[in-house]
Amino acid sequence: MNLFADLRALVVAELTAMTSEGALPPGLDFANVAVEPPRDPAHGDMATNAAMVLAKPAGLAPRAIADALAARLARDPRIKEAAVAGPGFLNLRLSDLVWQKIIHAALTQGADFGRSSLGAGRKVNVEFVSANPTGPMHVGHVRGAVVGDALSNLLAFSGHIVTREYYINDAGAQVDVLARSAYERYREANGLSPEIREGLYPGDYLIPVGEALKARFGDSLLNQPEEVWLMQIREIATELMMAEIRGDLAALGVRMDVYSSEKALYGTGQIESAINSLRDAGLIYEGVLEPPKGKTPEDWEPRIQTLFRSTAHGDDVDRPVMKSDGSWTYFAPDIAYHFDKVNRGFDELIDIFGADHAGYVKRMKAAVSALSGGRVPLDIKLIQLVKLYKNGEPFKMSKRAGTFVTLRDVVEQAGADVTRFMMLTRKNDVALDFDFAKVLEQSKDNPVFYVQYANARINSVLRKAAEAGIDVSDATLAAADLSILTHPAEIDMAQAIAEFPREIEIAARGNEPHRIAFYLYELASEFHGLWNKGNDETTLRFVQDDKATTQAKIALARATGVVISNGLAILGVKPVEEMR
């Protein structure tokens, strides 16, 4: 249940009734009518801007509309009081029963509390990670992986059918480099000294690949020209790297539904057919691009290339799809890949890229717009850098020497749950600081700990009650008489719980999983506050002498726990039962 949606429906229904009774002129658009909690709780539990939004188009004074609406809304049993305030806000105070019902709903719906039908079964493809299969995942990939995974969870929870997808760049020059690097390690495995030339991948992670190649080929590929071994070694090395990456993803708790291969697009006519589709739309032509604005690269020279008229779909310049030597650019298979996604029937595409791909956004959107006839929206989330620290000191990584901070390093030091939560404590387009010391700190400075601590306290109180012989199963708690929960602090807690379904929808609408992390922090804060009020006001403690009272209070705690669990599940974080 979504209280906010229910109340908005009520307001719209009353406005509609007013229209049919002639109190409002016909044909008004209610789309901008909002029902939200006011920023200042002193104003009430809920407020609507209906009168102010409608005043002008209706040709009526806002207060006149507000007064009439207030009188109607006050007849609803959920509404205790409807008062007009300020320039025409209508503030609603809700009956305690409304909040008690929220607690009941959380207990009966359990893991489904907060679930939304917003997506209405729309099929969404989320492409993320898509790290080149040339080595283990490093820290730069972690954030995108977590955001993509959490976003997928969020969309699934809000009624979308989600496909999580990884695009393997296994066709470009970088996999040839991988193969050559692996060949050197193969020579090394055969007792020769490897020549890790400039431009090859120096990382130790290729040593086992060399050994695997030796096990497979013995010394038969030694002293052979590249033509003999390049293709097979490329294939084997890519496969081994992908196995590595799958393991990395598993360590982070990230699951993919589909792995798509760039290489598989070649030789099947898929690239040609995607480009032809653009050609049929008159968007492919032979031409020469202008030199880039500003500083022109020294070696710039005009070339005739096959170009995609991406400017017809919002891009700044047209983009080459074929090099002057007749081979495809990287963009071409990417167009084909997105064409494939469109053809697989997705209603919406989401790509999660590193911020260094910002320049790629417009052309990709142009391509999808052109390929789908504007039918399929593509949202691209750019993930900003993660800056690593240890005790406030920047953590450097040197790619040159082949020593970088890997995903495994991060997960081993911080743990998957902590890592995931921290990666969601900023919106994606802002850089994020990750301090290995700080994320493991057990204080409210650390949001992961703070949320987990709230959950641990809830479990502690459940254990205490159970030890006292009180039945605290969800079924029993749901059946408890919640009408004694009328203290403002308890109502506040229930209100925070009621926010959850709304927060899910807001986050899902904007593809913004970080909102859930922030929400959970606020929810935890509300709970810690309630907990501490119990120090002064013993009637606010959860465990009371009276069994029925205890069950009602525990129901509130448990409902909070349900929301924490559901929220953490979206982030892909396991709730902690007990702090140690």
Stretch 1-30 residues interacting with RNA (CB under 7 A) = none
Smallest distance, RNA to C-beta of residue 525, A: 5
Where do the H-state alpha helices sit in 190-225?
Answer: 207-217
Binders of RNA among residues 415 to 454 (CB under 7 A) are: 426-427, 429-433, 442-445, 449-450, 453
As a whole number of angstroms, the distance between CA 285 and CA 205 comes to 44
As a whole number of angstroms, the distance between CA 528 and CA 12 comes to 37
Calculate the alpha carbon distances from 391 to 140, 425, 436 in Å. 20, 19, 7
Calculate the alpha carbon distances from 534 to 150, 451, 453, 457, 481 in Å. 35, 19, 17, 13, 21
Is residue 461 a contact point for RNA (CB under 7 A)? Answer: yes
Neighbours of 420 (CB within 10 A): 28
Q: Which residues pair with 387 in a beta bridge?
A: 433
Smallest distance, RNA to C-beta of residue 304, A: 9
Smallest distance, RNA to C-beta of residue 256, A: 19
Smallest distance, RNA to C-beta of residue 133, A: 10
As a whole number of angstroms, the distance between CA 171 and CA 332 comes to 12
From 104-112, 135-143, 207-215, 359-367, span contacting RNA (CB under 7 A): 359-367
Calculate the CA 394 to chain-centre distance: 27
Q: Which is nearer to RNA, 191 or 326 (CB)?
A: 326
Q: Tell which one of 42, 215, 401, 475 touches RNA (CB under 7 A).
A: 42
Is residue 412 a contact point for RNA (CB under 7 A)? Answer: no
Q: Which is nearer to RNA, 186 or 527 (CB)?
A: 527
Smallest distance, RNA to C-beta of residue 496, A: 12
As a whole number of angstroms, the distance between CA 216 and CA 170 comes to 21
- Torsion 563-569-573-574 (CA) sign: positive
Q: Which is nearer to RNA, 76 or 433 (CB)?
A: 433
Smallest distance, RNA to C-beta of residue 223, A: 28
Smallest distance, RNA to C-beta of residue 273, A: 20
Is residue 352 a contact point for RNA (CB under 7 A)? Answer: no
Smallest distance, RNA to C-beta of residue 222, A: 28
| CB of 128 closer than 8 Å to CB of 519 | no
Is residue 242 a contact point for RNA (CB under 7 A)? Answer: no
As a whole number of angstroms, the distance between CA 474 and CA 57 comes to 49
DSSP states along 163-195: EEEEEE--SSHHHHHHHHHHHHHHHHHTTSPP-
From 12-20, 171-179, 415-423, 563-571, span contacting RNA (CB under 7 A): 171-179
Q: Tell which one of 112, 257, 316, 546 touches RNA (CB under 7 A).
A: 316
Best CA proximity match to 426, nearest among 354, 350, 514: 514
List phi, psi (to 5°) of 390. -135, 115
From 178-186, 285-293, 370-378, 416-424, span contacting RNA (CB under 7 A): 285-293
The residues near 275 (Cβ < 8 Å, ≥ 6 apart) are 284, 306, 321, 332, 335, 336
Binders of RNA among residues 368 to 407 (CB under 7 A) are: 382, 384
Binders of RNA among residues 99 to 118 (CB under 7 A) are: none
Smallest distance, RNA to C-beta of residue 518, A: 4
Binders of RNA among residues 507 to 526 (CB under 7 A) are: 512, 514-515, 518, 521, 525
CA angle 188, 205, 385 (to 5 degrees): 145
Best CA proximity match to 413, nearest among 443, 391, 444: 391
Q: Which is nearer to RNA, 208 or 314 (CB)?
A: 314
Q: Which is nearer to RNA, 63 or 341 (CB)?
A: 63
Smallest distance, RNA to C-beta of residue 345, A: 27
| CB of 181 closer than 8 Å to CB of 531 | no
Smallest distance, RNA to C-beta of residue 501, A: 15
Q: Which is nearer to RNA, 121 or 199 (CB)?
A: 199
Calculate the CA 6 to chain-centre distance: 26
Residue pointed to by tokens 């995931």: 420
Q: Which is nearer to RNA, 163 or 238 (CB)?
A: 238
Q: HSE of 272 in the Cβ direction (CA atoms, 13 Å)? A: 5
Smallest distance, RNA to C-beta of residue 404, A: 16
Is residue 132 a contact point for RNA (CB under 7 A)? Answer: yes
As a whole number of angstroms, the distance between CA 108 and CA 342 comes to 39
Q: Which is nearer to RNA, 132 or 190 (CB)?
A: 132
Q: Which is nearer to RNA, 123 or 357 (CB)?
A: 357
Q: Tell which one of 324, 403, 483, 486 touches RNA (CB under 7 A).
A: 324
Binders of RNA among residues 524 to 553 (CB under 7 A) are: 525, 528-529, 531-536, 538, 540-543
From 119-127, 237-245, 395-403, 457-465, span contacting RNA (CB under 7 A): 457-465
